[in-house]
Amino acid sequence: MSRFDIVSPEGLRVDGRRPPELRRLSCRTGVFAQADGSAYIEQGNTKCLVAVYGPREPSKRLLTEKGPTINVEYNVASFSSGERKTKMRKDRRLMEIASVIKQTFEPIICYGQNVASRSEIDVNIQILQLDGGALHAAINATTLAMIDAGVPMRDFVCACSAGWYKDTALLDLNHLEESADVPTLTVGLLPKSGKVTLLSLESRLHLDKFQSVLELASQGCERMRDELDSTIRKATQELAKTAL
């Protein structure tokens, strides 16, 4: 396999995975004591930490808002990758991602339970190490942190990416694959209803390939849901043991 091949003739990717395989995933909740909820995810070599503060009484400027307001701050550590971008371009991109995450989560919060119709939630997202899939890692970690904070949601928000290279759909792209001009689709899914809450496409993807990529990314979301659910169950069991 040459250094420019994303998939070898034997069907292996650069990191040894088959096209429909996820990267190694590790999740934890309750990692930041100062926050109301927190979570840490490692997906391959991408590492993401999320802290949630709230729900709380809104600031005066938000008193006229209907429904809970989420304030999202998304940052990438300067040492997280070898990329160098202009500060203006980087800041604009970070704000775009923060807005996407805000729009993804606000509609699924169940206010009227533990959350007042006018309340405020702060979400602080830090990408500590970047090796592809930062958006979907951030969304999955935010889901865990929201649950850890006791924020009631209609469903998990599970996210995953997929792309198309030559004649093959690839699941959960790493940085090398994203950098090789592989069209990348990030999907956010509510598993119970099957509703797609997020579609974010990087680069152009031919329409006749779109459905295959969407289906593979959605399958990845379903598998993510199992991992997130397992993490929450383990955390709940550990909490129950400490309460005895």
The reported pLDDT for the residue numbered 183 is 94
Note the pLDDT tens digit of each residue in 28-76.
999 999 999 999 999 999 999 999 999 888 776 555 556 778 999 999 9
Task: Report how far apart, in Å, the C-alpha atoms of 16 and of each of 6, 109, 155, 213, 221 are.
Answer: 10, 39, 33, 20, 21
The reported pLDDT for the residue numbered 119 is 84
**Rounded mean pLDDT of 80-106?**
80
Q: How high is the mean pLDDT of the chain?
A: 90
CB half-sphere exposure, 189, CA atoms < 13 A: 24
**Rounded mean pLDDT of 78-96?**
71
pTM for the predicted model, two decimal places? 0.91
The reported pLDDT for the residue numbered 83 is 56
CA distance 88 to 130: 19
The reported pLDDT for the residue numbered 1 is 43
The reported pLDDT for the residue numbered 147 is 97
Note the pLDDT tens digit of each residue in 156-183.
999 999 999 999 999 999 999 999 889 9
3 pLDDT higher than 80: no
Domains of the chain (ranges; CATH) run: 25-243 (3.30.230.70)
The reported pLDDT for the residue numbered 110 is 87
213 pLDDT higher than 80: yes
CA distance 99 to 81: 22
